[in-house]
Each structure stands twice: as structure tokens, then as C-alpha cells.
Chains A and B, each alone.
Chain A
Amino acid sequence: MSIASTTQQICFLVLSATTVVGSLGVVLLPNIVYSAFLLGGVFLSVAGLYLLLNASFVAAAQILVYVGAVNVLILFAIMLVNKQETLAAIPGLLVRRLLSGAVCAGLFALLLRVAFTTNWALPGPPPVGEEATIRIGEHLFTDYLLPFELASVLLLMAMIGAIVLARRDVFSTDVITGEPADQGLIEKDRTPLLIEKSAPAPTLLSKP
């Protein structure tokens, strides 16, 4: 970075404070819509931290993928499942929260100890700075070519999987007779996955 040291430090302080406070808000706020928007703020400030670390390409990818895609996807999911329900009380919820908070604080202390007691090999080689995008491109098409191609296959699989999972099953009807035509869906409807224990198990004969 070619900006002054004090400016960098102020930027780091502001960005890290936004990240930490925003993440606490994501976890603690009761309204989940506020949580989702705060999550977008956390993603943006993490992208700012990447800019401080001489990684403009990854910062742009972070904004495009996280803020542009993942956050919007989460907002759509909230809108699709937004049913106001009163959650049933669970015995010992406060104890559970305090206990897991203690465990997380212990993990935080452990991570801090590791970060501050390890002798990092500083100063390392000088950072490449603005040439980072060129280096990433070279890496992706030489020594990381196979993971790169695998990532494309993974994205295709995830896309098809998401479509199959989220698809609403529609009975297609026969054009001439008007009868349901998709035999697989008819069988699936007769034997539901989640059978209520009180209801009798449906049989093939009980349905027309």
C-alpha cells in the first residue's frame, strides 16, 4: 500500500471494530433481517481488511461473491421462510449459553496465545503489491490448475444440487386423460419421508 502509516492504522482500527461489532450483532440481534444486513457490513469490512493486506483482487472477489451473491441468497431465504413463530422454551438455555460462551472465550484465549507467542518469520519477503492479480492468474493456470478445474465442477454440482433440493414437486398431468402422469412423484407422495407417529401409515390401498 502506498498510503501513510497512520492512515493505515486508523483504517485497520475502524475496519476491525466494524467487523467485530457487526459479527456480534449478527449472532446476538433478535431480528434476523437486521442480522442479515449486518452480515453484509461484516463482509464489506473484511474486504477492506483485504485491501490493507495488498490483495485488491481477492477484495473485489469478496465483495462480488459474498455481498453480491451469498448475502442476497440469505436475504431471499429469510423472506421465503419468514414465519413468525414463538420458539418453545428449553430448560437450561441460559446455562447452555454461558457454558458455550466460556468455551468460546477459552478458544479465543488459546488462539491469542498462539498468535502472540509464536516466532513468526518476520519480516518475510517484500509483498508484490499491485502485481498480486498477475501472480494469482499464474498460480491458477500452472500449479493450481487441477483445484481450479475441480472448483468449477464443484460449483456445477452445487448448482444442480440446489435446484433439485429447492424445487417444488409439481404433478404433471397427462394431456389427454387429465390424470397425474409422473409415476415417481405419485409414489413419493404416497410414502412421505416424515410420517407423523400418531397418524396411521399410509398404504397403497387407502388412496385412490
Chain B
Amino acid sequence: MSTDLASPIPLEAFLSVAAMLFCVGVWGLINSRNAVRVLMSIELMLNAVNINLMAFSDYLDGQLIRGQVFAIFVITVAAAEAAVGLAILLSLYRNRETVDMERFNLLRW
């Protein structure tokens, strides 16, 4: 539907937003003490990857939009991951009575 071939937004802008989102997600994954926030950081990272896939699909693969199909699979896996992760979290909370990541160290050393 685009009349002009040159898009008004450069591809690098989308890649920059995705990189920022991914780095914020990595920082949150490392530094969060609350286990729910760790899961949220993982969702942020998955979203960053999805933005990359969609940007490449639109700018470089406009006819066979394989990036969009991949993004749909990533969304599916993320939904499954969130369900299982939160179930593990609930079971962990039932056993340890805490959500502090620093106290989940049974398998450490």
C-alpha cells in the first residue's frame, strides 16, 4: 500500500529501540530480587527480539514475510514460558515462603 518506496523511518531506528529494550531486560534479569520481576524482564527481552524480527521482515523481506511468522512462534513460546514460569514460581513460593531470588540457592554449591 506504500506509495513511496523509501520509508520515512530508517531501519536503524527500530533496531536501536529493540537494542535498548533488550539491554534494559538484561539488566533487570541480572539485578531483580523479586522473582516475578525476573519473568517480566524475560518478557521484555523477547519483545525486543520480536521488534527486530518484524523490522527485518518489513524492510528486507517484504514479499515473503517470514519474520512475522517467526514472531508469531516467539509469541507462542513466550506464552508457554510465562505459564510454566509462573507455575514454578508459585510452587517455589509454597515451599520457601519467599520470592527473593537471593534465597533460591538450594542448587548452588
Residues of A within 8 A of B (CB): 1-2, 5-6, 8-9, 12, 16, 19-20, 23-24, 26-27, 32, 35-36, 39, 42-43, 46, 49-50, 52-55, 57-58, 61-62, 65-66, 69-70, 73-74, 76-78, 80-81, 83, 85, 87-88, 90, 96-97, 100-101, 104-105, 107-108, 111-112, 115-116, 120-130, 132, 135-136, 139-140, 144, 147, 151, 154-155, 157-159, 161-163, 165-166, 168, 193-194
List the count of A-B residue pairs having beta carbons below 8 Å apart.
259
Q: Roughly how many angstroms separate A41 CA and B32 CA in the complex, as a whole number?
A: 20
Residues of B within 8 A of A (CB): 1-9, 11-17, 19-28, 30-37, 39-41, 43-44, 47, 50-51, 54-55, 57-66, 68-69, 71-73, 75-84, 86-91, 93-100, 102, 106
20 A-B contact pairs sorted by A residue (CB < 8 Å): A5-B8, A12-B13, A23-B24, A49-B51, A53-B57, A87-B100, A97-B31, A116-B12, A120-B59, A121-B60, A122-B11, A126-B5, A136-B69, A139-B65, A139-B66, A147-B73, A157-B80, A162-B84, A165-B84, A165-B88
Of B28, B64, B87, most A-chain CB atoms within 10 Å:
B87
Contact present for A115 and B16 (CB under 8 Å): yes
Contact present for A58 and B47 (CB under 8 Å): no
Contact present for B40 and A39 (CB under 8 Å): yes
Main secondary structure of the interface of A (DSSP, over half): helix
Contact present for A165 and B79 (CB under 8 Å): no
Give the 6 A-B residue pairs with the shortest CB-CB distance, closest first.
A158-B80, A27-B28, A5-B8, A127-B62, A111-B19, A129-B1
Which residue of the partner chain, among A27, A52, A140, A193, contacts B32 with CB atoms under 8 Å? Answer: A27
Q: Roughly how many angstroms separate A129 CA and B3 CA in the complex, as a whole number?
A: 11
